[in-house]
Chains A and B, each alone.
Chain A
Amino acid sequence: MNGFMAGDLGGALATWVAALVTIGVWSYVVGARRIFVLLQYLLAGLATGYLVLLAIHDVLVPRLVTPLVTSPRDHLLLVPALVLACLLIGASWLPRRAVAPATAILVGGISAYALGGAVIGTILPQMAAALPAGGAGSPDLASELLALVITTLVLLSFLHGAPRAALTAQAASLGRWLLIGGIGGWLGFLIVSRLSLLVDRVGFLLANWLTVLR
């Protein structure tokens, strides 16, 4: 049971809707594509409506409109933010030269956060963690060296197009097989994961909707 539905009339109604929609989605496997497409539209519409409500209720009103209306002098920085937001909203009607700076600021800001975070938070600490740190007497030395060798071989397999000596080509080939093995193992886990989602839906129909308990 997912425990999300209350025991009242609203909960019962929600359970029925969820059950019928689940069966509607599954009808795709027996060829009823129209129902599936209709439910996709329903999901897209609901998601968009929810996003709009969330943006208005949790972002625009409390973080932009209210501060600007109640104490505009304390929130002067919100004025350019409002202008940028208006530019992005009207992007399809405004000339490109007016919209481009707002878009550039947005894309540049997002990229800077992502790139800076990736270098400081991932690449440097992971490089440090990949180096054998325990010295010759470390009990983890063998596994650390193995991880280093596997990482090097897999990285070599990404040397596409570069001229390679016979030994490097063999190492790259081995790296490619190691990569395929790793992806295979991960896909095995992924099948179990997706299967659990299907079993959860079956359980929902039997336990929540048909109230058949094991």
Chain B
Amino acid sequence: MLRRSAPALLLLLLAGAWLVPQRPGDTTLRLASSDRSHVDQLLSAVGDLPINAMVLVACDADLGTYPEIRAATRALLADLAAHGDRTAMVSYTPEGRAIAAAERDRIARAGGTPPLDLGFVSGSEAGLVRGIASILPAATTGVLADEIRKRGGGIGAFDLVVVISGSDLSARSWVEQVGARLPKLKLAAIAPTFLDPELEPYLGSGQLVALLATLREGVGYAEAIGGDAVAGPASTPAPLPMLVGMLVALAALGEAALRRTGRVRTAAGRRPS
């Protein structure tokens, strides 16, 4: 009975924990990672850009995992706008295109200036390579579009590329296809946790200048930029429901381990001598 109703109980528990108000400034429960090295790397990558720098945000996140990196992505866009950087957005996956359009819409609704829309580029990795020569759609106009054309019209026109990664096309493709052809171009990435083992080696080798690839790093970065003020109210998961959920997961693991141990002992007891 308890086993069958466990998922519904978990949802109720999470809802109850979500509703518990957190006092402002209360640091008893913090989701942000205490290790700020990855956060500082992205802050430096943006902070060290020259005045009026051009930044390309390649939005190729998945709809399923985007909530995990949503706050970090919004914080990045806010940080770029605060630095006065000129930002453009491009997508190489259909899901990324949908997210990019929604984010541009959200910024426009809030009264801000959305990044220049470079649209959707088909062809996956072949499209990436084509983008090195020309990334600007023919019909795109404006000051930033003219500046991109003046600098060659390709990905190399930008001072920094931040890849919002997903499963279809991650920062790995950018490193392999673009980084290998434009070694001076700075590449940074924001990625959901499942991509962390894939992308961490690129940070170690210097092929990525910055990487946020866990929830706690993303929350840390969003807090460093301004938290809910820039990413929207309650945009990062509250720490208490996360703690409750993890305790439930640990309890489930413990229960499964105990059951398995009991089964092994029973089988050993039944074994004929």
Contact = CB atoms under 8 A, between A and B. Distances in A.
B237 interface: yes
Interface in B105-130: 105-106, 109, 119-120, 122, 124-126, 129
Contacts of B215: 192-193, 196
Interface string A103-135: 000000110011001101110011011000000
A26 interface: yes
Interface residues of B, number: 65
B245 A120 contact: no
A48 B139 CA distance: 27
A201 B120 CA distance: 28
Interface stretch (A55-63, A90-98, A154-162): A55-63
A118 B14 CA distance: 42
Interface in B150-200: 172-173, 175-177, 179-180, 192-194, 196-197
A51 interface: yes
B41 interface: no
Given A3-B232, A4-B106, A193-B193, A58 B122 contact: yes
Contacts of B18: 199, 202-203, 206, 214
A110 B269 CA distance: 57
A193 B218 CA distance: 11
Contact of B94 (A3, A29, A30, A54): A54
18 contacts: A4-B105, A30-B7, A54-B120, A58-B120, A113-B125, A113-B129, A122-B172, A125-B207, A126-B201, A189-B214, A190-B194, A192-B242, A193-B192, A195-B237, A197-B68, A200-B67, A207-B234, A214-B20
B38 interface: no
